[in-house]
Structure 1
Amino acid sequence: MKIRLLLGVFLLFGFTSVAQSQKTLNLMPVPQKMDIKEGKLYIDSTFRLAIQGKPDQRIYSAATRFLRRLDEQTILWFKQDQVNHTDRDSKALLQINVQKPGKIQLKEDESYQLEIGTDKIQLNAATEIGAMYGMETLLQLLEADEKGFYFPQVSIKDNPRFAWRGLMIDVVRHWIPYEVIIRNIDAMLAVKMNVLHLHLTDDQGFRVESKVYPKLHEKGSNGKYLTQEQLKDIVKYAADRGIRVVPEFDMPGHASSWFPGYPEYASAPGTYQVETKYSHFEPAPTMDPTNEALYPFIDAFIQEMTHIFPDEYIHIGGDENRGLQWDANPKIQEFKKKNNLHSNMELQTYFNGKLQKILAKYGKKMMGWDEILEPGISKDIMIHSWRGKHSLTEAAQKGYPVIISSGYYVDLLFDVKDYYLNEPLEESHDLTPEQLANVYGGESAMWGEIVSAETIDSRAWPATAAIAERLWSPKEIRDVKDMYRRLEITSNRLEFLGLTHNKNYEVMLKRLTNGADITALKTFVDVVEPMKELSRRKQGITYYTYTPLTMVVDAARPDSKVAREFTWLVEDFIQKPTQELGNQIKEHYHLWSENHFKLQETMKVAPAIREIEPVSANLARLSVIGSQLVDYILAKSAGKLKPKNRMDYDKADKLTDEMRFMVKPRGNVEFIKIIDSTKKLLTYAVD
């Protein structure tokens, strides 16, 4: 039902007009207000910038980075080097004026105004954070023609729709190292995101160095963890770009990695080890809330972490705890009776209350997944909605600050449009203005069960850029085709910043073919997509932390551009069956039908890709059917069908059955968009 509803929304908003493209230019996210004028402001090697006002020192390194990126794009050899407080020349082309130093905190002023005139660029911002966003917008506005590089003359007044615009990176399930986090921070700034949420502990690893309790990382990480110096550097690197870092330490469940070093705090006796499987397992190792020694242990750990993470929030997880270890422990059951706790959730709320006091002791606020929304919790606890928008509505109605990740799980590999059209406040009619103010924003969630350092960028991006726009731009900006147009441009810009979502693609294909020609494999992988919603885990393979993630499915893009544009082409053809459109469709079908034989030749020297042979064969069969349907529709439209050639419903049913068979996945990849488009041709042909 959800997918059908999203499809309906897509069809409603899926048409791009020239006016819409002009309105958005190549910007992502789209500003709140923008007035596009006729002129162009050309730049040359004399380009300089000046900074006025009272900014924080971070503005100078930000302005220097802006200059270098602009110079790299234009190769104009700017003379201005490191920007500092002496760069205040009133004649400089770009004038940046900042009113006051910004703080890296929730609800800081991030607004800016950008005016590109005939002979000057004026960027005004309340804080240097807003000024950094203005510089990102300016870089996105850069264009070129036969005369050189220029900025279009525009007037922009911009500020975010939501104060919390985050990316959650799970560094646990598959180890995600320091350098991956750093490059993602640069990408976040480029699309005006301001919260990096690091999921640092879970059943599969304890990824934080603890000097107070060293056995946490020594026995709980398999040697893969972030040192305190690395974490401090991440926090500083992010702060220099106006980004907060919120750590997550999962408690009381998802806690296997705490116990190899400190089993005395578990709810069941025994020897513990870090989990290597990703499937849910029961009874899941869980902290013992009735053990009073647990709380000084957590207290000392939290105190240590406060010296690394200055943000006011610490995420405590709190999700997916069924409490089976609690049920099996007589001491815990006795404690529940003595304290009038009638359920495991009430026991967890007791634990959360103790934990909240520890956090408050160090000036921190608790944040947790929506399971912690239970009677009796403090009103300053942030609720993180993940199980559906009902929890966002409930939390906001009850007066809790809340953010949402429901519908933004990029690890589920949905089409970008599904994330883009996921409106956080679509149920806002249930909320008063005061309750709406409790909704702070949302996060893109990049869970790490089936990603590696090599593939994580291709799963998180560029979809997260579309989510960033949903959290920044006006609610009414919903044109899907224009979003995809701008997303492709944005995707290239993110590559320039160091992301690898495109760069690693051909590298992975070369590995799969043992260095042989990748042409046939690329033609195939370009059109297929990974199975959605982690359904590849249901295909008979048990995934471990050491399972290689270098298969065809890992190289395939979550939202195939080839398949998506083919879908649009078929929709246009059905609206108006012209020979030109028909030929374009048939060219695709011909390519895929012929490619199967070429791919079979590649498979002779590439055993790793032989699992996709049935998928390729089915794509080839479908392509023959599709090409015949196009010919049939063209002949029918031209009135050239003879009675004996008319397609009957029995034949149509047979074709439909064949296509339904082709849906069955092999190699964990699928070509549903091509099947659905061919079904549309079939339906049109028999109508």
Structure 2
Amino acid sequence: MKVCGIAFCLLIAGPAGNAADLNLMPWPSAAIVQDGFLTVDHALRIEVTGGDDRVRRAVARFLKNLSTETGVPYDRRFDGTPDGATLSIRCTGVGRRVQAVDEDESYHLSVSGTGVELTAANPLGILHGLETLLQLVEPGPHGWRIPYVRIDDAPRFAWRGMMIDVSRHFMPLQAIERNVDGMAEVKLNVLHLHLSDDEGFRVESRRCPKLTGAASGGLFYTQSQIRELIAYARNRGIRVVPEFDVPGHAVSWIVAYPRLASGTAPARLVQSQHDDLRPPLNPTQDSTYKLLETAFGEMAKLFPDAYFHIGGDEVDGKYWDHDPEIQRWMRSHGIKDNHALQTYFTRRVEKIVHKDGKIMEGWDEILDSDLPKQSLIQSWRGADSLASAAQSGYKTILSAGYYLDLMHSASYHYAVDPLAGKSAALSPAEKANILGGEAAQWTEYVTPENLDNRIWPRMGAIAERLWSAEGVTDVDSMYRRLSVLSRSLAWRGLEHETGSRMMLGRIEGDDLPAPLLETLAMAVEPVKEYDREQTQVYDVTAPLNRLVDSVPPESDYSRSINALAARAAHDASVRLELRRQFSQWRDNDARLEPYLAASHLRLGLAPLSQDLSKLGVLGLAALDAIEAGKPISVDSRNEQLALVQATAAHHAELLLAVTPSVRVLIEAEPGTQ
């Protein structure tokens, strides 16, 4: 490829070559990296042509964020200063009044010695391009600079979303908005709000005031706040899709309207796992549909997006089985089982939603051959249901593998692709039915204090999977760029780092020296999958203020230590560093132990601290064996591995994430022939 006036360039479709140094996330479709940098002084000049109000607001945000991250007042102009570099923005269209799933989000970005050019056919492309440009800014020897680069970028999937459950633990508007800022940085475009469940109904309803009164527990968004959030998200290229879960997960509806219950109605909202009376709505009563028609009609006017999520998941059919009136009705209407009854319900609800001008969306339990084809299926039960929905002609999105609340690593989520598995065998037309994916943050164990900690920065890995080319899979590159993204998110006001530090400070109190708890905290992670539910009774009133609530889902420190251990057998400098770390683990427990019983926030941590000390001792012994080169017996190795395995047990709903490092070293010890 020839580029006039440029000595060197590299065309790339993934993080490779010189491009690997760029701190971009998600990775663009294609980029040409060239020699040279554009210096950006405080007199940055911006020219905007076309677009709509979102473009002007995006430019103002760009300057504000640039000023915050660099410490240079790019968002101010000073009299008498010469014009600096020019950022020329050209948008050839205005986009739709209500953002749609099929809008053009592509953009072209060019940085050269003459300035920056950003062009797009839609304001959404301009918004995305400005996020990329901000990520390109870096410090240089003579000030802030941007590398010469040409980027042509567009998303792989049209639907790139994140669901936040605000029913189980209510999230204030400012918490949602700051997460919208994070979503915008990584080019996500759908905020799915789970607005009703057994624990509460979270939107002001003027037409059904009992939903606001009896069903909310006093925690809800006013309609004015919802409009503010929708406008806030729209200005950042993000659609807001509401979910009101029916007929299951509907205790909040039933507390407000007890006569709509299948069987006995609970007297109050669900508060814990012990509240096992959770009947679904009665699908055989016309009054059920009259209420939904009223409430959904009001909500459809409030939320302008084309999609309206009706839930439909985890309906407990035992309530229908044990209700004589429902059973008589089913027999008289020829409905043979509970799946057929739910399908009947879903079809009636779809007509209500369709009458309001919306496209019905639901979890994959609603999938049935009788479902109208315009419905959207959200797959949470696995890739098989995703492929089945697409093959049956339904538009669908993937959430299985993107559940953030299960505490998996960023690399785990990064490996999940909507078009992998059975979906890979679909025809091109069937693959086109897979619109993308959506991460899910359920909040049984999440409050506004640790919400950001649970989402970021891992969400960046999912965002990249949904935006970038299928071949962008380098995990090491992903983690390097994710670390940079994490710092950038903090500059924008995300609290994943500061919130965690403050929560740890609460546990330390005034008596515990900070390094002692920090040594343990860096080495642990929350238990995975649904293990926490097996060790603690979920209760919405219980404080979430212990170490398990404070530490990130994934320990960067542990990942680094485990990676070092894999190199230790052949690298003396690595062994030296591991010795320092293992010595700290070994000695930390003796210093930490006297403080653990002094605060209820530290109870249960003693076994973890003791196990970390044991790992330090075992790790040092393994390093000694490797360096001595003396063979050990199979029995001795097995005994050591058994001791390591014992430290893998979880305590205080935490597990030691550094255990693999010592296991690797023991396995690397020279053995007898």
Report the TM-score, using the length of structure 2 for normalisation.
0.94
In the other structure, the counterpart of 2:378 is 384
1:583 equivalenced with 2:572 (yes/no): no
Q: Say which SS state the counterpart of residue 544 (structure 1) adopts.
A: coil
Note the alpha carbon deviations across 1:536-594, whole angstroms, 9 max, x for none.
2212x2120011100111112211011000111011124x2x32111111111111111
Look up the match of 2:72.
76
8 Å Cα contact 1:392-1:403 kept in structure 2: yes
What is the CA deviation profile of residues 8-65 of structure 1, one whole-angstrom value per residue up to 9, with x for unaligned ones? xxxxxxxxx9945734610000000000001100011221111113x11121111111
Matches within 5 A, 1:259-408: 259-278=254-273, 284-408=278-402
- Alpha-carbon separation, structure 2, partners of 1:436 and 1:542: 41
Q: Distance in 2 between matches of 1:461 and 1:91?
A: 35
Q: Write the distance in 1 (CA, Å) between the matches of 2:519 and 2:110.
A: 45
3-state SS of paired residue (1:663): coil
Partner in structure 2 of residue 438 of structure 1: 433
- Confirm whether residue 685 of structure 1 aligns to residue 669 of structure 2: yes
SS in 2 for 1:611: coil
Corresponding residue for residue 51 of structure 1: 48
418-427 or 90-99, which deviates more: 90-99
Q: Corresponding residue for 2:4?
A: none
Distance 1:511 1:169, change over 3 A: same
Quote the RMSD (CA, aligned, Å).
1.8
Which amino acid in the other structure matches residue 251 of structure 1?
V
Deviations 1:424-457 (A, max 9, x none): 1112332000001000000110001111110111
Find the partner of 2:554 among 555, 559, 564.
Answer: 559
- The answer for the alignment partner of 1:64 in structure 2 is 60
Report if the CA contact (8 A) 1:282-1:324 is conserved: no
**Contact 1:169 / 1:199 at 8 angstroms: preserved in 2?**
yes
In the alignment of these two chains, the number of paired residues is 651
- Structure 2: any 5+ residue segments left out of the alignment? 1-13
| 1:611 matched residue in structure 2 | 604
Structure 1 residue 173 displacement after superposition: 0.9
**Contact 1:132/1:241, CA 8 A, preserved across alignment:** yes
How far residue 394 of structure 1 moved from its aligned partner, in angstroms, is 0.3
AA matched with 1:600: E
SS in structure 1 of the partner of residue 105 of structure 2 = coil
> CA separation in 1, counterparts of 2:670 and 2:188?
49
Name the residue aligned to 1:110: 105
Q: Which of 456, 465, 482 lines up with 2:460 in the alignment?
A: 465
Classify the secondary structure of the residue corresponding to 2:658: helix
Q: Match of 2:636? A: 651
Q: Is 1:669 matched up with 2:654? A: yes
Q: Tell me the CA shift for residue 278 of structure 1.
A: 4.2
Q: Cα distance, 1:613 vs. partner?
A: 0.6
In the alignment, the residues of structure 2 paired with residue 477 and residue 271 of structure 1 have an alpha-carbon distance, to the nearest angstrom, of: 50
User: Counterpart of 2:430 in structure 1: which amino acid?
Assistant: Q
- Give the partner amino acid of 2:652: G
Match of residue 4 from structure 1? none
Alignment gaps of 5+ in structure 1: 1-16, 83-89
Q: CA deviation at 1:295?
A: 1.1
Local SS of the residue matching 1:52: strand
- Deviation, 1:74, is 3.0
- Matching residue of 1:258: 253
Output the CA distance in 1 between the equivalents of 2:297 and 2:490: 38
Contact 2:585/2:615 (8 A) holds in 1? no
Q: What is the rounded CA distance, in whole Å, between the counterparts of 2:21 and 2:414 in structure 1?
A: 15
1:624 corresponds to:
617
Cα distance change of structure 1 residues 297 and 24 upon mapping to structure 2, 3 Å threshold: farther
1:479 and 1:214 mapped to 2: Cα distance?
52
Aligned to 1:628, what secondary structure does the other structure show?
Answer: helix
520, 523, 527: which one pairs with 2:519? 523
Equivalent residue letter for 1:674? V
Asked whether the equivalents of residues 221 and 257 of structure 1 are also in contact (C-alpha less than 8 Å), the reply is yes
Whole-angstrom CA distance in 1 between matches of 2:92 and 2:384: 40
- Whether 1:633 aligns to 2:630 is no
1:607-664 CA-to-partner distances (Å, cap 9, x unmatched) read 421311111101101210111101101111xxxx3xxxx4212222222222222222
Deviates more, 1:651-660 or 1:99-108: 651-660
Shift of 1:404: 0.5
Residue pair 1:116, 1:151 contacting (<8 A) in 2 also: yes
Residues of 2 paired with 1:229 and 1:152: CA distance?
43
Structure 1 pair 594/119, CA: closer, same or farther in 2 (3 Å)?
Answer: same
Q: 1:33 aligns with which of 21, 30, 34?
A: 30
Structure 2 Cα separation of the partners of residues 21 and 109 of structure 1: 29
TM-score, with structure 1 as normaliser = 0.92
Identity %: 38
